[in-house]
Structure formats: structure tokens, C-alpha cells
Amino acid sequence: MSIRIGIYGYGNLGKGVELAIKQNPDMAAVGVFTRRPPEAVKTLTGIPVYSVSDAEKMKNEIDVMIICGGSATDLPTQTPTLAELFNVVDSFDTHAKIPQHAANVQAAAERAKTTAIISAGWDPGMFSLTRLYSSAVLPDGKDYTFWGKGVSQGHSDAVRRIDGVLDARQYTVPIESAVNAVRAGQTPDLSTSEKHERVCFVVADESADKARIEREIKTMPNYFADYKTTVHFISAEEMAREHKGLPHGGEVLRIGKTGVNGEHTHVVGYSLKLDSNPEFTASVLVACARAAARLNQEGVYGCKTLFDIPPIYLSAQNREDLLGKLL
Amino acid sequence: MSIRIGIYGYGNLGKGVELAIKQNPDMAAVGVFTRRPPEAVKTLTGIPVYSVSDAEKMKNEIDVMIICGGSATDLPTQTPTLAELFNVVDSFDTHAKIPQHAANVQAAAERAKTTAIISAGWDPGMFSLTRLYSSAVLPDGKDYTFWGKGVSQGHSDAVRRIDGVLDARQYTVPIESAVNAVRAGQTPDLSTSEKHERVCFVVADESADKARIEREIKTMPNYFADYKTTVHFISAEEMAREHKGLPHGGEVLRIGKTGVNGEHTHVVGYSLKLDSNPEFTASVLVACARAAARLNQEGVYGCKTLFDIPPIYLSAQNREDLLGKLL
């Protein structure tokens, strides 16, 4: 029988989940739950749309609810609340607040005997797994995480809020010389701003002072002030043509030493080049939904992360095939 | 209390395990078990040497036995036999025979209520994990595994058996154009010989016919006949100076599609550049020994692989730190 999935929230991530479910024959999408009027939402594949207020009624028709809200304001309340009713998966990605979020979700899921997998995606998610495996195997070593080249939604929004800016797209770009040094096995001390530069494409109002906009971007604290930042003013047409996608990616590296006197260097690298950040993240959430359903069936309740889950629980293939063909 | 490790077999891998244990403060090496006369073996760090026949007597002094024999003749019998007495870890790497080996070890470990982790290392091992995670997340995709640049012990031995060859080292080298095509998101059909070439360094007897040796190498079935093979004749001095190490590595790639019509391509890459193949493999075995000890304490018995183990069991760090700092 298929694993029946509910999709809670229908932005880019929710749409990605809908599409990812279609790639997994052991899964079925029950429908989308939205805060908007359901009749105003049309799904990509024609699955039904419900109001979020109908979710509770459908408790017995859904094996796992994938929560596709934002980390800033949605997930901190949605995930614990929904974990009282459903097995859930989320992509909570405010790294510093993960322990608190985990504690809140754990309390709810334990009470309700549900299984919740939080902070799934690629960072946190696949990148975190690489950091964990690599540091467990090479304890004498140093980690590096590079992000990009890719669109940062938060930085794009920050530029859009500047007076005279009609539209903006910000790319986070890893600094080539830094990446190459680490790939070569060196272990420089690098701050985030020494690892990345920021490239902005801006559509400005015709009457706006571009020099002022550029200055406001480059001096914006936290977002840009510490970084090498480049600003390109482009037309609305060029923005629509060249920057409509949401690509992202990055690379996690660990440089580790072994030997009698640390004379051998090992470089472990994990990289992602994603045409669509939300669709890849959604694909991780869907694999985690499979794991959540299985763990719950086995009586494993509470708040889990990818760190806690045997990898095999994510796969649709059976163990015999995996040991014979993939191991 | 430390996890007490026995090292069964003391070649390159066993030495690597001895060194890796020193990097892990939660572990202690009890000693080496050898088929040679113990007094003939001197360990790198001064840990005791015992005869393999003494292993059974030391059952209560060892939490995990790491078995460092070869896959061809040692491990198929050693791992099931030792799993009757100890929690064990091995690096069994004959891919086609893993299911049979797993079944043999499972029977022994279940009977004895021990925990056995087989086929740990990097391929099978870390590469397999990447293949599993990537295919679970991107079911509509294609996998590629490239090996090298690195020394293949089996191919080096095959060259050494040729008449007139005094010493030989064979490097497996991934074909750059093939790797780059896949990294760029293409999905060509590639046989193993279309992905790799073979480069041999040979020290020949002065009186030997080098043309004949080169011909015998290049036409050797299975090992070389299907591959682009290059043979370099060098002096014994150059061999000792330039080819004394055992570097290896490689790259696993998965190209996956998502979207309404598969319009988005994602490239997942995992690469290793290892100065010492046996020391890195040994480091994986030691992390797995930690997992074996923990699983056994929790009453999880039988034959496991990296696919079956929650990643967190490999790490010496506690869950709170991992969720707060690494996730």
C-alpha cells in the first residue's frame, strides 16, 4: 500500500514535494493544505486542495504530513502542532535554533506517539550527513562548507527592500581560490566572508540614483558589508530571461590527517549542483517521509533528524537488492 | 570507559587500525592477533602482540574485534568464526559476494548475540552510502563511480607475476573527459573501461625482453586487455622513491532529474583523495567499531552494514552537540 502524503503549504517547496511524490511509486499525494482559500489554489498535477483547518479531520487518511512552511515564523509553531496529529517532516533550517526546535517537536511527538523528522534538506541535511560521517571517520581534521553558486532568497529580499529597487536577485558565489586551496588539502582559517562573495542583479526604477542603491547594498550590515559585493543593474527583461530559476548548491570538504605523525592527508568532498533548490530539498523531504512512516510503524516515536535514521529507511529498494547491487 | 579493540591481522590495514585508535580518545587497543609467531611482530605503537590462537581466551577483554584480513580467502571464514565470539567489523570488498557473506555472518552473530558490521571502508562503504542516499533522494537518475587515481594492489600483483618483472605498481586513473561529462550533468553510457585507464610502472630484469613484457601486460584478459594501458619501465630506485605510497580515491556521481517534465538537473558528487588507502579504510573500520559496540549494548544483534546504522552511532560526539553544531 502506498504511503499517503499530505503537503502542508504550497509555495515553491510544496510544489516540489508534489512533483517528487510522482517519482516515487510507493507514495501517493493526498492533497495540499493551504491557508489561502482552497478554490484559489490550482495544483501542478491536479491533486486536491484543502484548507489547513481541514487537516485534523483527515488524520486517518494521511500517513505523513510534509510541512512546507518557512523556518522564521511557520515551522516553529506548525511542526510541534502538527506532530500532535501526524507523522511529520520539515526543513527547519535556522541552524542555531535546531536544538530548541527539536526539543519542542520531541515533546509533542512523544505525547502523540508520532514520528517527526526535522531539518531535512541539503543544509541542514545532506551536507550535515557528510560533516558527521567525515568527522567520525577522520577525527583529526577540519571542515569547510561552501555555499553556491546559488540564489539566496533572504539576500535578494533585502536588496528588494531598498528604495528605488523594483526587483533583485542575489547570488552567493564561493571564492574559487579558497575552494581550490581546501580541495588541495590545505587547511586555511577562513571566515564566511573569506569563502564567499555576493553578486547582485538589480532592476532599478528609472528615476532612482543607482550610485546610492549600490552604496546602500554594499554597506548593508550582516548581509553585505563584510563581503566582496558586486552590483549589476539590468533591465526587467534580462531579469525575467536570465534569472528566473532558483539554482543553488555548494560543497562540504573535510581535510583529515592519519599516520604515525599525521603524515597522510585525506580530502573528503561532497558537492551539489542543483538546478532547482526547492525541488531538490523537496526530494529529500519525500525520502524522509518514507523513513518517518517506517519508523512509526516500528514504534519509533519522537523527534528525529537524518543523523538518527539508518540510511536504508530512506530508500524504496529492499535490503537484499541494496546489499547486492549498491553496497 | 573506553571501547576495547582487538586487531586481527597486522598488515597495512591492521597497522592503520592501530594508528586510528590513537586518534579516538574513547577507544583503546588491546592488542594485535597474528598468525605469525607473536615475537616476530613489532607494533608501531608498542601494543601487545598475541597469537590468533589466544583470541578466544581474551573474549572478555575485547569489546570489538576488527578483522584486517583479505577478502579473497581470509574474511569469508574469519568473520563468521570470530562473530561467534566477538562483536566484529570487517572490510569485505568482493561486491558480488556480499549477500552470501552477509548471510553467513548473520547466522553466526544471531546465534552468539554479537553485532557484526561487514563491508566497511570506502567502496564498499562511504561510496555505497553516497549511492544509497543519492538514489533515495533522486530516484529518476543515474549513478557513476570512478576509481582513482590510485594504486590497485590486485593489478600490481598481476603484473609482478609476469616473467622478467622484478616489481610493479599499477595506477587506476579515471578518464578525465568521462568524469567531466558526468560532472557537467550528462548521462553517457560508460563501461568500466570507458571510465578508466591503467598506468603501469615496471622494474624489469636487465636481461628481460621489455617489448614482450609490455605485450603480456596489455593483452592480459580481465585485468588489462579491455583498457587503455600505458607501461613505463623504471629503475628500482625510482620505484622506491616515487611509488612507495598507497594513495587512492575516486568519485561517486549521481545525475538526477526533477520538475514537471524532468527539466531540472541535479549533480550530486562525493569524492575522496586519499594519501593512504589502508589508513583511511582503517579509520572507517574504527568508527564502525564504535557503532558495533553501541548497537550490541542496546541489544541489536546480527550482521549489519553502513546502510543499517544510524550515522550518529559512528560519532564520538554526543547528540546534543551534533544537533547544535554539525546539523
Angle B192-B195-B198 from CA coordinates, rounded to 5°: 85
Q: What is the pLDDT of residue B148?
A: 94
| Percentage of residues in chain B having pLDDT higher than 70 | 100
Indicate yes or no: CB of B124 within 8 angstroms of CB of A327.
yes
Q: How many helices (H) and strands (E) does chain A have?
A: 11, 14
Confidence band of B274 (pLDDT split at 50, 70, 90)? very high
Average pLDDT over residues B114-126: 97
Q: In which element (H, E) is residue A178 found?
A: helix A176-183
Angle between helices A98-112 and A75-83 (to 10 degrees): 20
CA B89 to chain A, closest CA, distance in angstroms equals: 14
How far apart CA A220 and CA A224 sit, in angstroms, is: 5
Please determine, for residue B78, whether its predicted confidence score (pLDDT) is greater than 90: yes
ipTM: 0.96
Around B64, how many Cα atoms within 13 Å sit in the side-chain half-sphere?
31
Residues 41-80 of A with CB under 8 A from B: 44
For residue A92, what is the nearest residue in chain B, using CA coordinates? B327
Residues 228-287 of B with CB under 8 A from A: 256, 258-260, 263-276, 279-280, 282-284, 287
Confidence band of B194 (pLDDT split at 50, 70, 90)? very high
User: Closest Cα to residue B39, out of B50, B31, B47?
Assistant: B50
How far apart CA A220 and CA A9 sit, in angstroms, is: 32
Pairs of CB atoms within 8 A across A/B: 221
Q: What is the pLDDT of residue A220?
A: 95
Indicate yes or no: CB of A20 within 8 angstroms of CB of B258.
yes
Please determine, for residue B1, whether its predicted confidence score (pLDDT) is greater than 90: no
How far apart CA A82 and CA B64 sit, in angstroms, is: 42
Q: Three cell numbers at B202? A: 615496471
Confidence band of A222 (pLDDT split at 50, 70, 90)? confident
**Beta strands across the sheet bearing A302-304:** A49-51, A27-34, A3-8, A64-67, A87-89, A115-117, A302-304
CA B210 to chain A, closest CA, distance in angstroms equals: 34
CA B24 to chain A, closest CA, distance in angstroms equals: 7
Q: What is the pLDDT of residue B231?
A: 98
CA distances to A282, B172, B202, B235 from B213, rounded to whole Å, are 56, 19, 9, 15
* Number of residues assigned to chain A: 327
Best probe of the B interface among A3, A280, A323, by most B CBs < 10 A, is: A323
**In sequence order, which ranges of B118-206 are alpha helices (DSSP H)?**
126-137, 153-160, 176-183, 192-195
- A chain contacts of residue B133, beta-carbon cutoff 8 Å: 126, 129, 311, 314
Q: Three cell numbers at A243? A: 534569472
Please tell me if residue B103 touches chain A, with a CB cutoff of 8 Å: no
Average pLDDT over residues A163-174: 97
What is the reported pTM? 0.96
Indicate yes or no: CB of A130 within 8 angstroms of CB of B307.
no
Tens of pLDDT, residue by residue over A127-141, are 999 999 999 999 999
Please tell me if residue B97 touches chain A, with a CB cutoff of 8 Å: no
Torsion of CA B314, B275, B186, A273, to 10 degrees: 50
Please determine, for residue B222, whether its predicted confidence score (pLDDT) is greater than 90: no
Please tell me if residue A309 touches chain B, with a CB cutoff of 8 Å: yes
Confidence band of A255 (pLDDT split at 50, 70, 90)? very high
CA A64 to chain B, closest CA, distance in angstroms equals: 17
**Residue of B274, B275, B311 with shortest CB distance to A307:** B311
How far apart CA B310 and CA B291 sit, in angstroms, is: 9
Please tell me if residue A316 touches chain B, with a CB cutoff of 8 Å: yes
DSSP for A75-113?
HHHHHHHHHTTSEEE-----GGGHHHHHHHHHHHHHHHT
Please tell me if residue A29 touches chain B, with a CB cutoff of 8 Å: no
Average pLDDT over residues A63-84: 96
For residue A314, what is the nearest residue in chain B, using CA coordinates? B136
- Are B181 and B188 contacting, i.e. CB atoms less than 8 angstroms apart? yes
Confidence band of B167 (pLDDT split at 50, 70, 90)? very high
Average pLDDT over residues B303-318: 98
Q: Three cell numbers at A36? A: 489561502
Indicate yes or no: CB of B326 within 8 angstroms of CB of A131.
yes
- Are A293 and A63 contacting, i.e. CB atoms less than 8 angstroms apart? yes
**Residue of B98, B256, B268 with shortest CB distance to A327:** B98
Confidence band of B235 (pLDDT split at 50, 70, 90)? very high
Please determine, for residue A253, whether its predicted confidence score (pLDDT) is greater than 90: yes
Residues 154-193 of B with CB under 8 A from A: 185
Confidence band of B232 (pLDDT split at 50, 70, 90)? very high
